[in-house]
Structure 1
Amino acid sequence: MENQPKLNRNKEVIAFLAKQFPLCFTEKGAARPLKIGIFRDLLEQIRDEKNISKTRLRSGLRFYTSSWRYLYGIKLGTQRVDLNGHLCGELETQHVEHARKQLKEAKARVQLQRTAQQTKKRENGKTETLDRLVAKKRSARSDNVTCSKSRLKSERSTSTLKKVAPVGKNAPVTDISTLQVGQVIKVKVGQNLMDATLMEIPKEWIRVQLFSGMALIVRAEHLQL
């Protein structure tokens, strides 16, 4: 017996008791109500066992009698059993009521734990969703910045491509009555001429749109054919 490992877990104690007293204890399934004072009987029967302490035996027995399968077996009219499986007295009403109360409280604790876990899971789900939305917005913002930079770069490139030789190589506009909306024309911007489309031709000013997309309002002297 000295070479056997110590029993340090409640389930190990129950497995040991079920093996030593199969007519009284079970590892699984329905459990029969135990004789009152069975702890003293156990101490007497296993006094030579070195692999289980008195404290561990008491803890294992308490674990066994508080399990749901044991509490379900506490019913009116049911007989208690001793270590050999012999009947030794019918359950009293107060013991049955106490068992029912224990079972009800145990179920309530489990339900409370499940509710807490479900609440935590929902909260974690909301947090994950919020994180995804934030990440999506950040990504969209980054994409917008990238697109804006690309568009600006493209506009600058287009503006550069549309620049022509200095003023003087194209004929200036002297009569705006000859112009038509939609006509492509040169617009003087600084020291350069840029291609543009005529959008509107009132009397005193003319609205054009550069090929880069920029809209300008200019006078006739800024236009060349």
Structure 2
Amino acid sequence: MTTEQPNTQESTAEKLTDVKAVIAYLAEKFPACFSLEGDAKPLKIGLFQELAERLEGDERVSKTQLRQALRRYTNSWRYLRCQKAGAQRVDLDGNEVGELEAEHVEHAQQALKESQDKAKAARAEKQGSKPAKRPEGRKPARAERPKTAKLKSKPETKRNQAPLQTVSSDKLKVDQNVMVQLGRSPAKGVIVDINREDVMVRLETGLTVKVKAEHIRI
């Protein structure tokens, strides 16, 4: 006949890593001492030592975590507000162990004021660092560029040139470079034929024109 062997493997508890989770765990284990909302009871002086002894061997929390959780809990605004004259300190089981001393009440109220002032200053600094919102539909003004006076380009000075002269037909010859006065400005050309007062000139554009000798300039 065989007998079943008991399962001796112990289940390992999940270790808490967040301070808030540790505080919630303490409120679950010691509800008469810790709370997560409403009024917070003043804790017994030296409660850490008592807490460490009660949770010795608890794999979910360490002494370092317990110390951090107590510091966070007793520095919270909810806890500091409840530190008033006549309030009673309690142990882990909720037993009253003595009335708050006046100096402890004063210290708690001063700590609360300093913490609130610090938080208020941080919010004001954060709001002040944000850029001011401009009215909707209005575009930011562009920096105007300095207007620079346009410099009028000076007309190029013509080189000193000898004025063109009219000539008679008897002084003209074929293949001679001449200027033909067709309009306001004379055009360059080459004489290709001469018939008395009529002169045939091939212009630079390739066009050949017949003009009177009086329109020829050299």
TM range (shorter): 0.5 to 0.7
Amino acid at match of 1:3: T
Would you identify which runs of 4 or more consecutive aligned residues in structure 1 move more than 4 Å? 126-129
**Take 1:104 and 1:112, find their aligned partners in 2: how far apart are those partners?**
12
- Deviation, 1:128, is 9.8
The match for 1:113 is 122
Q: TM-score, normalised by structure 2?
A: 0.57
The match for 2:132 is 125
Contact 1:23–1:83 at 8 Å: present in 2 too? yes
1:33 to 26, 42, 57: 42
Mapped pair 1:20 → 2:6 = no
CA-to-aligned-CA distance 1:94-151 (integer Å, 9 cap, x gap): 1001101100100111110111122123xx125899x9414xx49xx9xxxxxxxxxx
Aligned length, in residue pairs: 136
Amino acid at match of 1:24: C
The match for 1:47 is 56
- Deviation, 1:55, is 0.7
Mapped pair 1:56 → 2:78 = no
The match for 1:73 is 82
CA-to-aligned-CA distance 1:165-212 (integer Å, 9 cap, x gap): xxxxxxxxxxxxxxxxxxxxxxxxx9xxxxxxxxxxxxxxxxxxxxxx
The sequence identity of aligned pairs, in percent, is: 45
2:91 to 82, 96, 109: 82
The match for 2:7 is none
The match for 1:5 is 14
Q: TM-score, normalised by structure 1?
A: 0.55
* SS of residue paired to 2:50: helix
Which segments of 5 or more consecutive residues in structure 1 lack a partner in the other structure?
142-189, 191-225
**Take 2:124 and 2:135, find their aligned partners in 1: how far apart are those partners?**
20
1:98 to 107, 129, 143: 107
- Deviation, 1:3, is 2.3
**Take 1:47 and 1:2, find their aligned partners in 2: how far apart are those partners?**
17
Q: Which structure is higher in helix share?
A: 1
The match for 1:187 is none
Which segments of 5 or more consecutive residues in structure 2 lack a partner in the other structure?
1-9, 146-183, 185-218
- Deviation, 1:28, is 1.6
* SS of residue paired to 1:27: coil
Structure 1 residues 118 and 50, CA gap change in structure 2 (3 angstroms): same
Contact 1:64–1:70 at 8 Å: present in 2 too? yes
